[in-house]
């Protein structure tokens, strides 16, 4: 079999390689750099991303050993400077979805990890598996294609030597300015934004912040106008600084000037090491199509958002998850049209999510601008803007307006529904990004509930959920019983059919469906609640069964990506269901 060529070994490219290689698809991963760039970028791993990691054997326990420390990441602070010298804290918002009550909707709570650390971890797993061919120090240059293959020209980044690679398709994971996307002629819907500079530095900020720990410190001082991301308060931070290139050209960001901007942001002379500065453009862009012939875009190559909301990397991880099982299915099918069908459904499902997330990220960014405007810091003259800010902060008549504008920022730090609640259904939408309720319908993520698998019947389960990181916040009883989610029972390479052993139909009544799907070339695992697994929380399990109709003899059919293919009520005709599901899974054009 020809391999899949993945261009770009950022987090999404690496994870795409992990997912495909675990599914038995041959992979070549191409990266022009020999090591991850040291500047931390993305850091937020949503509960949904961690659920996906569990399914593919990525060790969550190891991920949680990386900073940021949980106790340091509970708050978001809006400040004049980190030290509050001559200023004040303007507001503080909680990171609502870090609390243990989140375990009622997902087996995992979000975690923050610097992007380079995540990349090193995933690459190590790939090298340990030895199933994916990783070629670093090679730059993708161009491609041609035939009816059967894609031929890419690559160049050694250091020697200039050129080679060719034959592949079944190309997955472009090479970032916002993707060369592969451009070569394929895939256009973008985009909205321009401000010019930014990432200033990477290392300081021990614990003596500065004391009890005022936070994941993010939004700096309102117009001389900085940015946010300090505290990947590790003890020694790893980045200041995202907004600047006007018509006033300060990129070349003016000398090490001395960068250090001065960092000092203003910190508000004191705490020692720090300045490590680097990287310019970038904050903009929103979504590819007009997610594939063209045999070229597919994922992650930042498909969509790039402002960092507000933490949607970028998590959207890319979900892209890779959605695509992987479909490509694996195309490799196992004799149909010559399967790859085109795969690409069609990937775009029809993931692009609407990208558009919605893009719109939300832009909205969240505009709300931050609204706060700056309320403080009077948008005046182009920094001295005037600073004067406005301190005057308004000292004037009690502005307190309620400023508090209102701070409160308006809350949604971007608690948008659980954006991460867990997306549904692969045309024209689907939701009203409140913060309030997640499982959708018991086709295209939705399977609802979470705690289960106790019959381990005599089930093999190859994920590692039990590890609660070491919250052992002081969760009872010992729950730590011992909440070991697996129903999501953990979904195979990476087969459909899952869940029914109830207590219903009139029972498991035996659904064996015809299992046999029919197998005859249609579909692997399926049939599990009966009460036989193959038990509900840990009876009330939670009863609610789950009622929601999917299991208590009335129905069943729920789940795709390998843990999204629902069909909710099957007990009154349906089994033969009709076999035919309908079999057809829909084979050809979804």
Tokens for 550, please give them.
């299991």
Dist CA 234 CA 152 (whole Å): 44
In three-state secondary structure terms, 140 is strand
C-alpha to C-alpha distance for 284 and 306, rounded to whole angstroms: 6
Beta carbons within 10 angstroms of residue 150's beta carbon: 20
**Mind giving me the DSSP string for 279-323?**
EEE--EEEES-SEETTEEE-GGGTEE--STTS-HHHHHHHHHHHH
Q: Is 138 exposed, middle or buried (CB count within 10 Å of its CB: 0-12, 13-18, 19+)? A: buried
Per-residue pLDDT of the chain (589 residues; tens, 9 = 90+): 899 999 999 999 999 999 999 999 999 999 999 988 888 888 999 999 999 999 999 999 999 998 788 999 999 999 999 998 767 899 999 987 789 999 999 999 999 999 999 999 999 999 999 999 999 999 999 999 999 999 999 999 999 999 999 999 999 999 999 999 999 999 999 999 999 999 999 999 999 999 999 999 999 999 999 999 999 999 999 999 999 999 999 999 999 999 999 999 999 999 999 999 999 999 999 999 999 999 999 999 999 999 999 999 999 999 999 999 999 988 877 554 567 777 889 999 999 999 999 999 999 999 998 999 899 998 889 999 999 999 999 999 999 999 999 999 999 999 999 999 999 998 888 778 999 999 999 999 999 999 999 988 788 889 999 999 999 999 999 999 999 999 999 999 999 999 887 765 556 667 776 777 777 667 888 899 999 999 999 999 999 999 999 988 888 999 999 999 989 877 555 666 666 666 555 544 3
Site of tokens 């307006």: 401
Strands 291-292, 295-297: pairing kind: antiparallel
Query: CA 208, 209, 214: angle at the middle one, nearest 5?
Result: 145
Which residue from 207, 208, 201, 266 is spatially nearest to 238, judged by alpha carbons?
Answer: 201
Residue 331 has what pLDDT?
87
* Secondary element (H or E) of residue 533: strand 533-535
pLDDT of residue 588: 45
At 425, list the tokens: 């259904």
Which residues, 6+ apart, have CB-to-CB distance to 128 below 8 Å? none
Q: How many angstroms separate the Cα of 332 from the Cα of each of 17, 24, 318, 327, 508?
A: 18, 10, 22, 9, 28
- Can you list the positions of beta strands (E) in 58-105? 75-79, 89-94
SS3 547: helix
SS3 96: helix
Q: What is the pLDDT of residue 515?
A: 76
Superfamily for domain range 4-66+113-189+284-361 = FAD/NAD(P)-binding domain (3.50.50.60)
Task: Please report the DSSP string for 428-462 in residue order.
Answer: ---S-TT------STTSBPPP-EEEE-TTT--SPP
Cβ(221)–Cβ(80) below 8 Å = yes
Which CATH topology does 67-107+194-281 take? D-Amino Acid Oxidase; Chain A, domain 2 (3.30.9)
Structure tokens at 492: 């990476």
Instruction: Please state, in angstroms and rounded to a whole number, the distance separating the CA atoms of residues 272 and 205.
Output: 9
Please provide residue 134's backbone torsions phi and psi, each rounded to the nearest 5 degrees. Answer: -105, 120
Instruction: Provide the pLDDT for residue 160.
Output: 97
CA pair distance 429, 447, nearest whole angstrom: 18
Question: How many secondary structure helices (H) and strands (E) does the chain include?
Answer: 16, 28
Q: What phi-psi label fits residue 71: left (phi over 0), alpha (psi between -120 and 50 degrees) or beta? A: alpha
* Nearest CA-CA partner of 303 in 286, 278, 283, 321: 286
Q: What is the secondary structure of 513-574 as a DSSP string?
A: HHHHHHHTT--EEEEEETTTEEESSHHHHHHHHHHHTGGGT-EEEE-TTSBEEEEE-TTS-H
Q: Of 491, 508, 497, whose CA–CA distance to 558 is shortest?
A: 497
Token pair recorded at residue 53? 């990691």
Q: Do domains 4-66+113-189+284-361 and 450-586 have the same CATH topology?
A: no
Q: What are the extents of the domains in the chain?
A: 4-66+113-189+284-361, 67-107+194-281, 450-586
- 484-485 and 555-558: which strand pairing? unpaired
Q: For residues 418 and 357, is the Cβ–Cβ distance under 8 A?
A: yes
What pLDDT, on a 0 to 100 scale, did the predictor assign at position 574?
Answer: 62
Closest CA to 446 of 544, 577, 549: 544
What is the per-residue burial (b if ≥16 Cβ within 10 Å, else e) of 450-471?
bbebeeeeeeeebeebbbebbe
Query: Distance between CA 118 and CA 316 in Å, rounded?
Result: 14
Cα Dmax for the chain: 77
The answer regarding whether domain 450-586 maps to CATH 1.20.120 reads no
Phi and psi dihedrals of 22, rounded to 5? -65, -30
Full-model pTM = 0.95
The pLDDT score that the predictor gives to residue 458 is 85
CA dist., res. 414 & res. 412, Å (int): 6
The CA distance from 51 to 481, in Å, is 18
């Amino acid at each position: 079999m020809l391999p899949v060529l993945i261009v770009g070994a950022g987090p999404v490219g690496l994870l795409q390689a992990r997912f495909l290689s675990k599914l038995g698809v041959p992979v070549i991963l191409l990266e022009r750099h020999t090591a991850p760039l040291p500047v931390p970028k993305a850091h937020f791993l949503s509960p949904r991303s961690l659920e996906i990691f569990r399914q593919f054997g990525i060790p969550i326990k190891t991920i949680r050993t990386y900073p940021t420390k949980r106790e340091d990441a509970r708050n978001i602070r809006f400040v004049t400077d980190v030290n509050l010298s001559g200023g004040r804290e303007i507001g503080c918002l909680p990171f609502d979805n870090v609390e243990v009550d989140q375990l009622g909707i997902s087996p995992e709570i979000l975690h923050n990890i610097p992007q380079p650390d995540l990349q090193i971890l995933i690459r190590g797993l790939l090298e340990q598996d030895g199933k994916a061919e990783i070629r670093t120090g090679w730059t993708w240059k161009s491609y041609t294609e035939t009816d059967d293959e894609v031929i890419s020209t690559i160049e050694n980044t250091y020697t200039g030597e050129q080679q060719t690679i034959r592949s079944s398709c190309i997955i472009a994971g090479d970032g916002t300015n993707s060369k592969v996307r451009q070569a394929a002629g895939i256009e973008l819907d985009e909205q321009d934004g401000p010019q930014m500079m990432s200033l990477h530095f290392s300081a021990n900020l614990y003596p500065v912040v004391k009890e005022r720990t936070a994941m993010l410190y939004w700096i309102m001082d117009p001389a900085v106008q940015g946010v300090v991301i505290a990947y590790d308060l003890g020694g790893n931070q980045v200041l995202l600084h907004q600047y006007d290139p018509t006033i300060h050209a990129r070349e003016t960001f000398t090490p001395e000037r960068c250090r001065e901007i960092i000092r203003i942001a910190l508000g004191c002379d705490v020692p720090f090491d300045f490590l680097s500065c990287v310019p970038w453009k904050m903009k929103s862009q979504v590819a007009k199509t997610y594939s063209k012939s045999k070229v597919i875009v994922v992650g930042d190559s498909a969509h790039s958002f402002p960092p507000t909301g933490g949607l970028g990397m998590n959207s890319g991880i979900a892209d890779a998850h959605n695509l992987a099982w479909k490509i694996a299915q195309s490799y196992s099918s004799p149909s010559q049209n399967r790859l085109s069908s795969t690409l069609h459904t990937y775009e029809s499902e993931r692009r609407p999510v990208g558009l919605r997330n893009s719109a939300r990220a832009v909205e969240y960014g505009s709300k931050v601008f609204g706060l700056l405007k309320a403080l009077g810091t948008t005046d182009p003259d920094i001295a005037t803007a600073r004067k406005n800010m301190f005057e308004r902060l000292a004037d009690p008549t502005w307190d309620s307006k400023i508090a209102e504008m701070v409160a308006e920022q809350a949604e971007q730090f608690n948008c659980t529904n954006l991460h867990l609640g997306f549904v692969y259904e045309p024209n689907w939408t939701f009203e409140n990004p913060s309030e997640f309720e499982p959708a018991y319908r086709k295209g939705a993520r399977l609802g979470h509930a705690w289960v106790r698998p019959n381990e005599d019947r089930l093999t190859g389960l994920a590692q039990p959920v590890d609660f070491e990181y919250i052992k002081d916040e969760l009872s010992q009883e729950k730590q011992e019983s909440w070991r697996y989610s129903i999501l953990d029972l979904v195979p990476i390479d087969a459909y899952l059919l869940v029914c109830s052993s207590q219903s009139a139909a029972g498991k035996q009544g659904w064996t015809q469906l299992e046999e029919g799907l197998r005859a249609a070339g579909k692997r399926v695992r049939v599990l009966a609640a009460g036989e193959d697994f038990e509900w840990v929380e009876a009330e939670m399990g009863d609610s789950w069964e009622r929601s999917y109709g299991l208590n009335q003899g129905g069943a729920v059919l789940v795709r390998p990506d843990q999204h629902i293919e069909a909710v099957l009520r007990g009154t349906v005709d089994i033969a009709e269901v076999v035919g309908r599901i079999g057809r829909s899974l084979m050809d979804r054009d």
